[in-house]
Structures are given as structure tokens and as C-alpha cells.
Structure 1
Amino acid sequence: MRFTTLFSALCVFAGVVSASTPKVSPEVMKIADSINQNNCYGAPIPPWEVGCSPGWYYGRPEYRPLGLPCLVDGIDGLLCFVLRLIGLDICPHVAPPIPPTVPVGSTTPTPPPPPKGYSFDFNNLTCAAEVWPPQLYLTYGIVESIEGCANMCDSIPHCAFANCYHDVNAGTGKNNTNKFTCALFTVVLTAKNATNCGGQQQKSLPAGTTYITDSCGLVKDGVPST
């Protein structure tokens, strides 16, 4: 049913634009059809459960992890355009922020302030947030910076809280990189919810290889605490 709706929308669009409009490939249509609220935007298994896998990437396109759809305009053959056409305006309307640079003589970047429109509920933990019931979880993906995670929270409907963290050896998009996992929720969580300390077996990895650093909780301004 959803694919039929997508195909119909594209047919209507094709009838009103010029021939110079780039064509949308079948592969892009398939990706767009697989990203929806019902399957947590491509990440139906939460990041604290066995077998989880991120659903998307938001960051500089040249650093996109292999196999993840890039939610940046102009990438993946008009993916963001197609998503908006079918009513899923989940690609941020701003360019991906560039990660902070490492100061001269330092080995780590200077801790940034919270992104505009957000405050830190917790910061610099070695465990990530979990939530119950699972319906309070929205989606998760890969970003390059904390600000990028906030941008995604702004774009996903009903997002009130974002947990941004490094999970080392976590599989798709994270191996041997400094990218962040960005998990989004409908309610505000606290440090008491940070009970995912790694070690779960992910796809194609042996158990006990993951661990978590730099976990922070971002509360959207104006959202009441639970």
C-alpha cells in the first residue's frame, strides 16, 4: 500500500515538471519506501538490543557509512526530495555541521556547549539511554557531531530527547571512526536511564566487543521533564 502511494505521488510529480528534472531511480524509491514511522525510520531494533542496526546517516556525504541512506539534500539520487513528496520531511533543512576541531597540543576536541534550543540533561557518561516501553523510542542513526544529532531531533516528529554517544566497535558506520550514535525518544530521559553500557552482540560481531563513551542527553527546550 505504501509503495503504491509512493509510486502514485511520483507519477503526479512527473506530469508537472520539466523533462530536465533528474530521474529518481528504482533503488531510491525502494529506500524511501523502507523509511517510515512504523519501522522507526529504518531502525526498528533499538540500539540497546541484540541485532540492532542504524537506520540512517546525517553528516558530510563524503563520509557516509556504506549501506546507510544519507539524509542530506541532493544525496542518494533525490532521496530527501522523494521523502518530502510522500509527506516525510525528516531530512534536516540545514547543512550537516562540521565536527569541532582538536586544539593544538590536545588529543581531544574541546567539549562543546549544548546545541541551540537544547540543554544537557547528562554528559560524558560511559552508558547510553534505554527506555521502557519501547514505544517511547523513535529511531537511531549515525551523525558526525552532537549538533547533528540535535538537527535530527528537530526533524523527526515527536522527538523530545536525543542521546548522542560513541559506541566503539558497534558495527555499521562506527568501526574505527569518531562518528556518534544518535538515538531519539518521545520523552525526556535522565542519567538513571543510561543503563546500556555496551557489550551487546551486534550484527557480524562477537559478543562483548562494544563499549560506550561520551554519552550525553539533549533535552529540547520547552519539553517538560518526566
Structure 2
Amino acid sequence: MTEQRSGRLRSVGAQVGVPIATAVVLVVVLRALYPPGGLETRVFDPALVAGGCLAGQLLYVSHSVRRSGAEQRPLFGLFGVANALTLCRGSLYAVVAGFVVVAPETMFAWGPALFYGAGAVLDRLDGAVARTVGEVTLLGERLDMAFDTFGFVAAPLVAVAWGQLPVWYLSISSARYVYRAGLGWRAFRNRPLFDPPDSNLGKYLAGTQMVFLTAALAPTVPTSLVWQVAPFVLLPSLLVFARDFLVVTGRIGAEQ
């Protein structure tokens, strides 16, 4: 076996092994925390669901960074302070996803709100830490985006499954995937793509979504109130996705 091939195998092994090992640690920790009979699950083990979600996110990030060629060993650089905070946030969101397979009558009914709210707090910290200590990397950016998107899938899914949000609120979960698919289709057809608008509005609306989803997951917040407020929180975010797509595809704000 040549040295080049051996190095490539080690790199692939790290890119696969680190996500799986991280997910296994999460599963073991959750299994130890859940008391016997403490969770009334529907079908699957929530610890395995959480671990699988975290592994999938890390594998996606590792693969996308490796394909970009910007970092030769992307997951070896995972353990900076900022990336550690982002990884903790992703783990919290993965735990939230595990509650999709848990009955809402569980003794851990406060779990989704607490874990998602803690992840939202970390979201305010990891970027600031990265800029402060000089750890802004492509890996960190991809991790941050992947976990942001995943959080907006996991939290609404749990809220809908537990009857705390209407099913149409899941449109926020699919919005970024639809947006990316639209851009991918345009690129496939060799159509031009432009820079997105320079605006912080999307960040502010994302923060509003996080606060609202945390409240929606809290057992003490009246469901009727959440349903009444939901359209007013959802619509601006969807409109921003639509605006960004129109700008990036050159339909507004740019010459074809």
C-alpha cells in the first residue's frame, strides 16, 4: 500500500470515524441519563434517533468540506473552542430530535424546550467566540449552517408531533432545503447565480424563530396562543427566503 493511499484511507477513516464515535458517545450518555421506564416511546429508542441525527449532520459537513478542498483534514480541526460550542449545540438539537419518537406525556416534557433553548443560547456564542479567538474556518461555518438548519427541522417536528404547532409550520423546516434545491437546479442548467442581499434581517428573524420555538415547546405555554401567533412568526421568514431566492437568481436586484 502506497503512502498516498494509506494517507487517503486514514483521512476517510477520520471523516467517518469521528462522526460515528461522537454519535456513539451521545447515545451512551443519553442511555445513562434516561431512567428505566422514564420515557414512553412510540417505536424507536430516542437515544438512537438522537445519535443517528448527530452522525448524519457531521458526516454531511465532513463530506461537503472535503469536497470543497479547503481543509484537507476537516474533522481533525473540530476541537477548537468555537467548534466545540457549535458541536454542543448540534448535540442539543439532536437530543431534541429524539423526542419526536417520545409520547408527549413523558416525565421529560420540558426536555425539548430546555435543550432547544440552550442550543439557541449557544448559537449566539459560538460565532462571537470564533471571531474573538480567530477560529473562523470553513468547517465552523458549515457546522453552524448545518446545525441551524437541522434545529429548524427538529424543533418544529417535535412541536407538531406533540400537537403544540400546526402541521403547516413545517414549511419553515423545508424552506432552506427548497431554497438550496432551487439554486442547485439553476446551476445544473448553467444559469447565473448572484450574491445574496447584504442584510441582517434573516439573522434577526432566525433569532425570533428560535425564541418562538422554545416557547412553543414549553408545556406551560397555552397551545391556543402558540397557534394564534404562529402565522405572524412564520410568514416573514418565508418571505425572506423568497426574497433571497429572487435576488440570487437575478429576478430582482440584478441584471440577467
TM over 0.5: no
Q: Which has the higher strand share?
A: 1
TM-score when normalising by structure 1: 0.29
TM-score when normalising by structure 2: 0.27
